[in-house]
Structure 1
Amino acid sequence: MSGGPARFAVVGTPGDRRVTMFGDAVVRHGLPTPIVIPWCDVLAAGEALIPPGALVRIDSPGEDARADALLRGPGDPSRVAGGARWYRTFTAGLARVRDLTEATPSAHLLGDPGEIAVMFDKRLTHRRLQAAGVPVPDALPGPISSYGELREAMARRRWARVFVKPAHGSSASGVIAFQAHGARVKAVTSADLGPGPSLHNSLRIRTYETEDDVAAIVGALAPDGLHVERWFPKASIAGRAFDLRVVCVAGTPTHAVVRASRSPMTNLHLGGVRGDLDAVAGRLGDAGWDHAMDVCARAAACFPRSLAVGVDLLVATGFRSVAVAEVNAFGDLLPGLPGLPGTPGAGLDTYATQVAAVLGGRFAASSVPEPRQEPGERGEEETACVT
Structure 2
Amino acid sequence: MRFAVVGTPGDRRADLFAAACRSAGLAAPQVIAWRDVLRGTAPEIAPGSLVRADSPGEDAEVDAMLRGPGDPARVGGGARWYASFTAGLERVAAAASRSGARLLGDVDEVAVMFDKRRCHALLSAAGVPVPEALPPVSSYAELRERMAETRMHRVFVKPAHGSSASGVVALQTAPGRIRATTSAARAGAGYVNSLRVRTYETGPEVEHLIGALAPDGLHVERWLPKVALDGRVLDLRVVVIAGEPTHAVVRTSRSPMTNLHLGGARGDLGAVRQAMGEDGWRRALDVCAQAAACFPGSPMVGVDLLVRLGWRGCAVGEVNAFGDLLPGLTGLPGSGADGLDTHTAQVRAALRRNQATCTT
Q: TM-score range by the shorter chain?
A: over 0.9
- State the match for 1:376 in structure 2: none
Aligned equivalent of 2:115, options 108, 117, 121? 121
Match of residue 150 from structure 2: 157
- Whether the 8 Å CA contact 2:238–2:247 is kept in 1: the answer is yes
* Paired residue secondary structure (2:190): coil
Q: Which residue type is aligned with residue 151 of structure 2?
A: R
Kept after mapping to 2: 8 A contact 1:110/1:365:
no
CA distance in structure 1 between the partners assigned to 2:239 and 2:115 by the alignment: 19
**Structure 1 pair 221–364 and aligned structure 2 pair: CA distance change class (3 A):** farther
Q: Secondary structure at the match of 1:331?
A: coil
Shift of 1:328: 0.3
Residue 178 in structure 1 maps to residue 171 in structure 2: yes
Pick one of 72, 75, 85 that aligns with 2:70: 75
Judging changes above 3 Å, is the alpha-carbon distance between structure 1 residues 312 and 365 closer, same or farther for their aligned structure 2 residues? farther
Shift of 1:345: 1.1
Q: Distance in 2 between matches of 1:178 and 1:122?
A: 18
CA distance in 1, matches of 2:149, 2:317: 23
Per-residue CA deviation, residues 255-285 of structure 1 (Å, 9 max, x unaligned), is 0000000100000000000000001000111
| Count of aligned pairs | 358
AA matched with 1:78: A
Counterpart selection for 2:328 from 320, 336, 343: 336
TM-score (normalised: structure 2):
0.98
Q: Which of 1 and 2 has higher RCO (CA within 8 Å, sep 6+)?
A: 1
CA offsets 1:172-212 (integer angstroms, 9 cap, x no match): 00000000112310000000013x11210000001110010
Aligned counterpart, 1:87:
82
Structure 2: how far apart are the matches of 1:44 and 1:179? 43
Partner of 2:129: 135
Superposed CA deviations along residues 148-176 of structure 1, whole A, max 9, x for unmatched, are 11110000001110000000000000000
Tell me how far apart the structure 1 counterparts of residues 354 and 160 of structure 2 sit (CA, whole Å).
32
Please tell me whether residue 55 in structure 1 is matched to residue 56 in structure 2.
no
Alignment match, 1:250: 242
% identity of equivalent residues: 64
Partner of 2:159: 166
In 2, the alpha carbon distance for the partners of 1:363 and 1:343 equals 20
Matches within 5 A, 1:1-387: 6-105=1-100, 107-142=101-136, 144-194=137-187, 196-361=188-353
Could you tell me which residue of structure 2 aligns to residue 377 of structure 1? none
Structure-2 residue corresponding to 1:383: none
Tell me, what secondary structure is at the counterpart of 1:360? helix
TM-score between both structures, scaled by the size of structure 1:
0.91
Q: Counterpart of 2:322 in structure 1: which amino acid? A: F
Letter matched to residue 87 of structure 1:
Y
Moved over 6 A (4+): 362-366
Q: For structure 2, list consecutive stretches of 5 or more residues without a partner in the other structure.
A: none
Q: What is the distance in 1 between the residues matched to 2:170 and 2:43?
A: 41
**Tell me, what secondary structure is at the counterpart of 2:134?**
coil
| RMSD, aligned α-carbons | 1.3
SS in 1 for 2:40: coil
Whether contact under 8 Å (2:300, 2:321) holds in the other structure is yes
Q: 1:252, 1:10 → 2: CA distance?
A: 23
SS at match of 1:361: helix
Residue 47 of structure 1: how far off its partner (Å): 3.1
Query: 1:250–1:363: 8 Å Cα contact kept in structure 2?
Result: no
Equivalent position SS for 1:356: helix
